[in-house]
């Protein structure tokens, strides 16, 4: 009932308090709310989990929970509800919403959960649903029914106004029918005095589009009298207390105390009922349902008629006959009924008796009634009017709620009067208890009997559970032949219809025939029925009359003659007096409607709510153990638990199981396809085996698979969800790997191309240069070292540097491209002295050669353009065929004479000039250099071979001294390979195979064929994971051995064990200090290193103190080995080197696995398990009851199931670091043909002498600066060239 405000407030406060203490608003409010809601549960919330099953333990559990405010408890899917008799604040909208879309196990037990599952199942399986609520009067059935309606209205969507209208109406039927159909009884202040089955119809979107109420057996006797302290139907108090003045005027209405029917039991007020407020609610409900003002008015007129009729009193006349005490009352009744007042008086005090003779109508007598007879006649009339009024209201409500369209399914909610035992039990109790017997039958049928029968049918191993089947009691009451109680009543009525007392006697006699039934005992004017819920003693007097339930003809005539249409319409079908057919008795009707109800319910999927009443006093603290134990017993809760425990929560046909869960086994699915080739039964079995569910959790029947616990089913569902989730993750992972791989490849290609693009251009220029020199000039050793690129603009005059820009403007170059720039030594002739080389800058553009001079005047340096020689004026270039750097530009017309200069890039310079002039300039190479000293004064410079010249060459008085060079025809060494910097190997991701794509792949599982329908067995699923596990072993072992001197793992036995480290290993000494970058080996001078591998790019992999790294080969000097190595011994074939990924092995091992290559077959370490147990790894880490240890296919110890059930374990991703796997080179380095003898190290180019030892002092001078800066990014040769320029500058 209405929650007490105090209690309500308390509950709402809880989250607020939490929110405040939590500090920040919404976030905490929510968290705290959950906290508050998920209060600690006491006892077990599902009694199938009870350790001991007995009525007492059930009782104990319920008591613990009830006292803790947990009124709901499950037995499987059956909800047990113990009336709290207080507001627990558990029906708020927040709570309601929290049950939306949740399955039963996700939430604490609640009536909302039952509503949710009914609504969900209706939508999901397109099956009609019904919720059967049973229990004693006052146990909470009506409350539960209302909560279910509230829940469904709240979750069933539908913005549509007609849907909202239906929802409103459905909810409005509660106050309306409660007002007219409920009353305060000793047991319940809002006791339903009728049974009600509400069906809500839904469209295929799950939106309510209509509803229908079926009414069962209104307790109409309550209209005319109630036992002390009970009340009439609520509406009478609401109406008499709260009617409008107009109504009072119209119906002469007074307070409830003024009417016999409302005041006789001395209970006008009920503590928790506000009749005035409820009246307003009733009126509002009438409006919502669409009752017109006229209809409402007529309803109240009927109530007034009943109230006033009740006040008609009879006095006994002298002759013993009845007389109306106050005709004023009958006059008013006549006014209200719109009939003649005298007629009212007449029908109330006399009755018409028609004699029948031989089947023909005889005489008609008016028989006066005594006051008692008159009184019961009057009461019969009022009862009939009220009963018919109630039925009219129900059918009127149904008219309003008629479905607005085609409905696909429905949910029925049955709230029926509870089992009743009174002091004086009469026909009404018999009917009520009979209906309850029928409901118990359904429950037994569906939960106990059918279930057990199915196990037998499916040949499931099963221990039958005994339970009391109340069918025998149902038969006792309803059976026709041999006649049961109802049939006996009917027979008694038929034989002695005129005299009620005679009929009752006849009934007594007939009942004796039933005494053989163990549930029946005749006891004189009483009889005992042993109902499932208890023994009830029924009183026979008056029973036949109640069963006959016929209004006397006079009264029917009175109503028929009324001028009031509404009153007339309440009595539509008058029995045909001429009909031979006996009109149906009350017993007939209840039997008929009960079986219709049962039929209806059996067509729907039932949910059960079994309500329990904790005490008879509506106390929120009294737990009447004895009374509850009794209810527990008769409700059969113990048996219910036993059947549930022994039984299986879920079953479905093999086909359906396979269809739903085939994804869960790799044997039945591949990439989402069904691949099982066997029959559905074997497929289903395979799935259940492969999912690792414990064998006790499931059984295979004949046509169905049975799952024992709902948890298992939910686990299967979760796995199914996770399957897709994991698949998506897998695809994403593969895609990301692919992307990463692609990007890395692209980057490498780009880098390679960038490195080469310019190089190609320069190389072309260089090639051209060689062509034009065409073996005519001796070569410097240095230029043989490698193909140096021709950069051209060595001074960056065309670039952005400050110096370049200054030069650019000094030369006045404008928009021209700078083709070449360099420092030169120009031969300058001073007056009277011999010419001397003097530094200049030379800049060549498309149009001219510029010579720039830096002169010093007054202590200030000025840079200026000394000379500009248009290209067109240059006729030829003169050079010697020695290895000197001198050249002259022979110009056409020049006052100044031809410039003669030395340029280290002479070949490039000449090449540039030829290219710019389309080779119109001649290249003269001869023993002397001819040039014009002045206009028309030609001179020759001689060249003398002089091996004593320490460096390049020396100019002195028209003679160049130069040591001999390499033969003109000698070829440059191939271009130095770049050291590719620190390049990460692309080793991660499953797309990659170790060793590259062309390496043979570990045989992967072939894609099985998709199966629409069976055939033969598919390949075992888990094989995918096996290789991963197997390959893991090796690296792990060797990795473990790396730290200690453990012999290499036996798997590698094919190859001889590596030679022990010692004198056999070639040792090198650092000639210079070298500060290495990442991946390089830093060395101090004279450090000894061990050669691991030579690479022909000038970098060798060396090892010192167990650490490996790269070092420039020209820094290294072989320490002569003791046993002299054969110089001709062929070195091991140069392995295709991969760049050094890690600086040293030790570090690599200590680093995260990500740095090292991953076995190609192994999934990434963070890959989620996919194929076998998606979803089975309990999120909370708890062990799951249904999970058995996984049997692996190769029979490995099942203890390893976590690893073996995963495609990859963390071990799988830890192969050895790549450096460690490099083969050790054999013989010493000196033998390698390609190894540059001439040091490839920067400072060297300036050493002109043939001995390589000259390099040493210079290199030493350079110190740390000699380090190949930016190696990996910069071309080694280019670096050399730059360095050479630098050195030249310094001189």
1015 counts as catalytic: no
**Catalytic one of 191, 668, 669, 1164:** 191
**Closer of 141 and 720 to Mg ion (Cβ):** 141
Q: Give CA–CA dist 1263/1265, Å, rounded.
A: 5
Q: If binding is defined by CB under 6 A, does position 140 make contact with ligand ADP?
A: yes
Tokens 């999120």, residue located: 1179
Rg (CA), the chain: 55
Please say which residue, 378 or 613, places its beta carbon nearer to ligand ADP: 613
Cβ-based nearer residue to ligand ADP, 190 or 441: 190
Stretch that binds ligand ADP, among 6-14, 184-192, 481-489, 1090-1098 (CB under 6 A): 184-192
Are 538 and 523 in contact by the 8 Å Cβ rule? The answer is: no
DSSP E strands, 1012-1136: 1067-1070, 1088-1094, 1099-1104, 1107-1112, 1116-1119
Is the Cβ–Cβ distance between 941 and 1063 less than 8 Å?
no
The 144-183 contact track toward ligand ADP, x by CB under 6 A, reads ----------------------------------------
400 is catalytic: no
Q: Is 192 in the site for Mg ion (CB under 5 A)?
A: yes
Q: Which stretch binds ligand ADP (CB under 6 A): 137-145, 206-214, 845-853, 1057-1065?
A: 137-145
# residues near Mg ion by CB under 5 A = 3
Q: Which of 15, 19, 89, 135 is close enough to bind ligand ADP by CB under 6 A?
A: 135
- Nearest CA to 305 out of 245, 369, 383, 227 is that of 383
Annotated binding site for ATP: 135-142
DSSP codes joined into one string, 782-808: HHHHS------BTT-TTSSSHHHHHHH
Least CB distance to ligand ADP at residue 273 (A):
9
Instruction: Give the footprint of Mg ion on residues 122-141 (CB under 5 A).
Output: 141
Output 385 or 439, the one with its CB closest to ligand ADP. Answer: 439
Residue 60 neighbours by CB under 8 Å, 6+ apart: 43
CB of 141 to Mg ion, least distance (A): 5
The owner of tokens 């991969």 is 1138
848: helix, strand or coil = strand
Select the binding partner of residue 113 from Mg ion, ligand ADP, none (C-beta < 5 to 8 A, by kind).
none
State the Cα–Cα distance between residues 1162 and 1024, nearest whole angstrom: 10
Report how far residue 1105's alpha carbon sits from residue 1089's, in angstroms, rounded to the nearest whole number: 8
Q: Out of 43, 138, 377, 412, name the contact with ligand ADP by CB under 6 A.
A: 138
Q: One of 207, 298, 323, 420 is an active-site residue; which one?
A: 420
Residues 588-627 interacting with ligand ADP (rule: CB under 6 A): 611
The vertex-88 CA angle with 83 and 89, nearest 5°, equals 135
Q: Report the residue from 113, 156, 190, 668 that binds ligand ADP according to the rule CB under 6 A.
A: 190
Partner from Mg ion, ligand ADP, none contacting 139, C-beta within 5 to 8 A by type: ligand ADP
Does 215 interact with Mg ion (rule: CB under 5 A)?
no
- Answer yes or no: 1189 catalytic: no
142 catalytic? Reply is: yes
Going by DSSP bridges, is the β-strand pair 409-415/129-135 parallel, antiparallel, or unpaired?
parallel
Q: Which stretches of 499-564 are DSSP H helices?
A: 500-511, 543-548, 553-560
Smallest gap, in angstroms, from Cβ of residue 150 to ligand ADP?
A: 12
How far does Cα 674 stand from its chain's mean position?
24
CB atoms within 10 A of CB 879: 23
Q: Which two tokens stand for residue 593?
A: 């409607």
The residue (of 192 and 547) whose beta carbon lies closer to ligand ADP is: 192
Say how many residues touch ligand ADP, by CB under 6 A.
21
* Catalytic residue from among 192, 388, 547, 786: 192
CB of 142 to ligand ADP, least distance (A): 3
Instruction: Pick the closer one to ligand ADP by CB: 270 or 1287.
Output: 270
Report the residue number, 79 or 888, with the smaller CB distance to Mg ion: 79
Cβ–Cβ < 8 Å for 232, 207: no
Q: Which of 137, 547, 786, 987 is catalytic?
A: 137
Tell me the closest approach of the beta carbon of residue 424 to ligand ADP, in angstroms: 20
Contact 493, 499 (CB under 8 A): no
Half-sphere exposure of 55 (CA within 13 A, CB side): 12
Structure tokens at 741: 């791989």
CB of 213 to Mg ion, least distance (A): 14
Main-chain dihedrals φ then ψ at residue 296, nearest 5 degrees: -60, -45
**Binding-site member from 76, 310, 418, 666 for ligand ADP (CB under 6 A):** 418
198 or 900: CB nearest ligand ADP: 198
Window of 85-93, 1082-1090, 1230-1238, 1249-1257 that interacts with ligand ADP by CB under 6 A = 85-93
Does 84 bind ligand ADP (CB under 6 A)? Our answer is: yes
Q: Identify the residue among 192, 429, 1149, 1208 touching ligand ADP (CB under 6 A).
A: 192
Task: Compute the distance between CA of residue 1140 and CA of residue 1098 in angstroms, rounded to an integer.
Answer: 14
Q: Which two tokens stand for residue 1162?
A: 């192994």
Residue 182 Cβ, how far from ligand ADP at the closest point, in Å? 7
Only one of the segments 82-90, 690-698, 918-926, 1124-1132 lies at the binding site for ligand ADP (rule: CB under 6 A); that segment is 82-90
Q: Please, what is the minimum distance in Å from the beta carbon of residue 1201 to ligand ADP?
A: 46
Is 192 designated active site? yes
Q: What separation in angstroms does the CA of 352 have from each of 340, 368, 377, 548, 1008?
A: 18, 9, 12, 18, 92
Residue 188 makes contact with ligand ADP by CB under 6 A = yes
* SS3 state of residue 652: strand
Tell me how far, at minimum, the Cβ of 434 lies from ligand ADP, in Å: 17
**Residues 540-559, interacting with ligand ADP (CB under 6 A):** none
Residues sharing a CB contact under 8 Å with residue 1071, sequence separation 6 or more, in sequence order: 1085, 1114, 1115, 1116, 1117, 1256, 1259
Query: Is 139 near ligand ADP (CB under 6 A)?
Result: yes
137 versus 890: smaller Cβ distance to ligand ADP: 137
- Alpha carbons 235 and 279: distance in angstroms, whole number: 7
Closest approach of ligand ADP to the CB of residue 419, in Å: 10
Classified as helix, coil or strand, 829 is coil
Note whether 1265 and 1074 are within 8 A (CB): no
Contact residue for ligand ADP among 65, 104, 110, 141 (CB under 6 A): 141
DSSP-assigned letter for residue 672: T
DSSP notation for 909-967: HHHHHHHHTTT-SEEEEESSEEEEEETTEEEEEEEEE-TT--SS-EEETTEEEE---B-
Q: 418 an active-site residue?
A: yes
Find the binder of ligand ADP among 48, 128, 179, 191 (CB under 6 A): 191
Q: Is 96 in the site for ligand ADP (CB under 6 A)?
A: no
Among candidate residues 418, 636, 701, 1098, the one labeled active-site is 418
Which one of the listed residues 48, 83, 108, 142 is annotated catalytic? Answer: 142
Annotated binding residues: 135-142
836: which strand partners? 828
Q: C-alpha distances in angstroms, 254 versus 235, 251, 301, 336, 514?
A: 14, 9, 13, 15, 51
Which residue in the block uniquely carries the two structure tokens 């698979």? 705
195 touches ligand ADP (CB under 6 A): no
Q: Which of 59, 73, 83, 669 binds ligand ADP (CB under 6 A)?
A: 83
Binding of ligand ADP by 143 (CB under 6 A): yes
- Residue from the set 98, 113, 129, 137 that interacts with ligand ADP by CB under 6 A: 137
Question: Catalytic annotation on 405?
Answer: no
Residue from 798, 810, 776, 813 nearest 910 by CA? 776
Binds Mg ion by CB under 5 A, chosen from 73, 113, 129, 142: 142
Q: Report the C-alpha gap between 199 and 148 in whole angstroms.
A: 12
Residues labelled as active-site residues = 137-138, 142, 188, 191-192, 418, 420
Which residues contact ligand ADP (rule: CB under 6 A)? 1, 83-87, 135, 137-143, 188-192, 418, 611
Which residues contact Mg ion (rule: CB under 5 A)? 141-142, 192
């Amino acid at each position: 009932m209405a929650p007490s405000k105090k209690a309500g407030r308390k509950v709402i406060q809880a989250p607020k308090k939490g929110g405040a203490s939590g500090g920040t608003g919404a976030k905490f409010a929510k968290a705290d709310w959950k906290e508050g809601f998920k209060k600690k549960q006491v006892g077990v919330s599902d009694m199938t989990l009870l350790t001991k099953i007995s009525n007492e333990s059930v009782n104990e559990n319920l008591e613990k929970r009830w006292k803790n405010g947990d009124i709901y408890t499950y037995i499987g899917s059956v909800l047990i509800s113990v009336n709290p008799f207080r507001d627990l604040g558990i029906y708020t909208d927040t709570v309601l919403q929290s049950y939306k879309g949740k399955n039963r196990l996700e939430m604490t037990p609640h009536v909302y959960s039952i509503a949710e599952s009914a609504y969900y199942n209706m939508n999901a399986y397109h099956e009609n649903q019904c919720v059967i609520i049973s229990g004693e009067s006052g146990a909470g059935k009506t409350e539960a029914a209302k909560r279910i309606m509230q829940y469904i209205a709240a979750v069933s969507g539908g913005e549509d106004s007609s849907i909202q209208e239906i929802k409103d109406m459905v909810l409005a039927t509660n106050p309306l029918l409660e007002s007219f159909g409920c009353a305060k009884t000793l047991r319940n202040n809002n006791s339903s005095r009728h049974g009600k089955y509400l069906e809500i119809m839904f469209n295929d979107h799950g939106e309510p589009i209509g509803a229908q109420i079926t009414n069962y057996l209104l307790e109409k006797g309550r209209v005319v009298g109630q036992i002390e302290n009970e009340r009439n139907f609520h509406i009478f108090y609401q109406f008499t207390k709260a009617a409008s003045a107009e109504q009072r005027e119209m119906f002469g209405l007074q307070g409830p105390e003024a009417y016999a029917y409302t005041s006789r039991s001395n209970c006008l007020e009920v503590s928790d009922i506000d009749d005035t407020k409820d009246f307003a609610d009733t009126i509002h409900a009438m409006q919502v349902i669409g009752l017109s003002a006229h209809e409402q008015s007529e309803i109240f007129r009927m109530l007034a008629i009943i109230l006033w009729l009740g006040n008609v009193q009879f006095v006994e006349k002298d002759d013993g006959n009845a007389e109306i005490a106050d005709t004023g009352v009958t006059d008013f009744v006549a006014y209200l009924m719109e009939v003649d007042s005298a007629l009212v008086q007449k029908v109330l005090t006399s009755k018409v008796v028609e004699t029948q003779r031989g089947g023909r109508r005889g005489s008609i007598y008016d028989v006066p009634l005594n006051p008692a007879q008159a009184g019961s006649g009057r009461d019969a009339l009022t009862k009939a009017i009220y009963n018919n009024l109630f039925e009219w209201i129900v059918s009127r409500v149904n008219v309003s709620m008629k479905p607005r369209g085609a409905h696909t399914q429905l949910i029925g909610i049955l709230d029926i009067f509870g089992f009743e035992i009174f002091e004086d039990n009469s026909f009404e109790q018999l009917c009520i208890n009979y209906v309850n017997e029928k409901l118990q039958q359904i429950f037994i049928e569906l939960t106990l009997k059918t279930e057990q029968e199915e196990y037998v049918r499916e040949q499931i191993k099963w221990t039958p559970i005994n339970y009391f089947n109340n069918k025998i009691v149902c038969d006792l009451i309803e059976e026709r032949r041999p006649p049961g109680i109802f049939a006996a009543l009917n027979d008694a009525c038929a034989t002695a219809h005129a005299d009620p007392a005679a009929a009752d006697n006849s009934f007594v006699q007939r009942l004796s025939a039933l005494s053989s039934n163990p549930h029946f005992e005749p006891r004189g004017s009483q009889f005992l029925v042993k109902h499932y819920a208890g023994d009830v003693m029924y009183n026979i007097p008056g029973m036949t009359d109640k069963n006959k339930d016929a209004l006397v003809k006079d009264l029917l005539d009175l109503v028929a003659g009324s001028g009031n249409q509404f009153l007339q319409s309440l009595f539509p079908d008058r029995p045909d007096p001429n009909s031979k057919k006996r009109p149906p008795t009350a017993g007939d009707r209840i039997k008929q409607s009960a079986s219709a109800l049962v039929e209806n319910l059996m067509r729907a999927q039932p949910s059960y709510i079994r309500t329990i009443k904790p005490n008879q006093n509506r106390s929120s603290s009294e737990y009447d153990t004895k009374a509850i134990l009794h209810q527990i017993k008769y409700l059969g809760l113990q048996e219910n638990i036993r059947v549930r425990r022994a039984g299986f929560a879920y079953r479905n046909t093999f086909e359906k199981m396979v269809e739903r869960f085939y994804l869960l086994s790799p044997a039945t699915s591949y990439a989402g396809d069904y691949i099982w080739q066997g029959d559905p039964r074997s497929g289903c079995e395979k799935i259940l085996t492969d999912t690792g569910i414990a064998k006790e959790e499931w059984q295979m029947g004949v046509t169905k698979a049975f799952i024992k616990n709902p948890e298992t089913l939910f686990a299967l569902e979760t796995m199914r969800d996770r399957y897709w989730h994991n698949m998506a993750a897998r695809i994403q992972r593969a895609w990301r790997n692919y992307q990463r791989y692609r990007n890395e490849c692209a980057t490498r290609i780009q880098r390679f191309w960038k490195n080469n693009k310019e190089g190609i251009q320069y190389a072309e220029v260089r090639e051209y240069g060689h062509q034009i020199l065409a073996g005519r000039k001796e070569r410097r050793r240095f230029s043989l070292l490698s193909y140096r690129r021709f950069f051209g603009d060595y001074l960056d005059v065309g670039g952005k540097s400050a110096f370049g820009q200054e030069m650019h403007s000094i030369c006045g170059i404008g928009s021209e491209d700078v083709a070449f720039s360099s420092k030169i030594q120009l031969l300058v002739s001073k007056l009277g002295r011999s010419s001397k080389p003097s530094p200049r800058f030379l800049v060549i553009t498309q149009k001219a050669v510029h010579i720039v001079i830096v002169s010093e005047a007054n202590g200030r340096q000025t840079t200026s353009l000394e000379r500009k020689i248009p290209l067109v004026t240059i006729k030829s270039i003169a050079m010697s065929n020695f290895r000197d750097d001198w050249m002259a530009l022979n110009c056409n017309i020049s006052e100044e004479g031809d410039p003669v200069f030395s340029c280290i890039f002479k070949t490039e310079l000449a090449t540039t000039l030829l290219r710019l002039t389309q080779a119109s300039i001649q290249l003269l190479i001869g023993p002397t250099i001819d040039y014009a000293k002045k206009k028309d004064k030609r001179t020759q410079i001689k060249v003398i071979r002089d091996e004593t010249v320490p460096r390049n060459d020396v100019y002195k008085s028209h003679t160049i001294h130069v040591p001999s060079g390499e033969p003109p025809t000698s070829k440059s060494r191939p271009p130095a390979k770049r050291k590719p910097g620190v390049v990460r190997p692309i080793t991660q991701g499953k797309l990659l195979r170790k060793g590259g794509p062309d390496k043979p792949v570990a045989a992967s599982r072939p894609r099985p064929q998709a199966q629409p329908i069976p055939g033969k067995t598919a390949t075992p699923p888990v094989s995918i994971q096996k290789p991963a596990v197997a390959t893991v072993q090796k690296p792990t072992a060797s990795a473990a051995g790396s730290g200690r001197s453990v012999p290499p793992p036996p798997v590698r036995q094919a190859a001889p064990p590596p030679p022990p480290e010692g004198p056999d290993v070639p040792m090198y000494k650092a000639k210079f200090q070298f500060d290495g970058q990442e991946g390089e080996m830093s060395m101090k001078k004279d450090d000894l290193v061990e050669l691991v591998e030579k690479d022909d790019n000038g970098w060798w992999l060396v090892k010192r103190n167990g650490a490996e790294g790269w070092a420039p080969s020209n820094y290294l000097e072989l320490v002569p080995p003791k046993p002299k190595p054969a110089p001709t011994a062929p070195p091991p074939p140069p392995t295709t080197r991969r760049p050094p990924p890690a600086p040293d092995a030790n570090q690599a091992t200590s680093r995260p696995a990500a740095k090292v290559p991953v076995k190609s077959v192994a999934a990434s370490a963070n890959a989620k398990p996919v194929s076998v147990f998606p979803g089975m790894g309990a999120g909370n880490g708890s062990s799951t009851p249904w999970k058995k240890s996984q049997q692996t296919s190769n029979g490995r110890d099942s203890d390893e199931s976590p690893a073996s059930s995963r495609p990859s374990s963390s071990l799988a991703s830890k192969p050895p670091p790549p450096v460690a796997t490099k083969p050790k080179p054999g013989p010493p380095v000196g033998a390698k043909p390609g190894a540059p003898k001439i040091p490839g190290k920067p400072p060297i180019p300036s050493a002109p002498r043939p001995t390589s030892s000259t390099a040493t002092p210079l290199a030493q001078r350079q110190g740390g600066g000699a380090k190949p800066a930016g190696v990996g990014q910069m071309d080694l040769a280019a670096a050399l060239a730059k360095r050479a320029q630098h050195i030249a500058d310094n001189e």
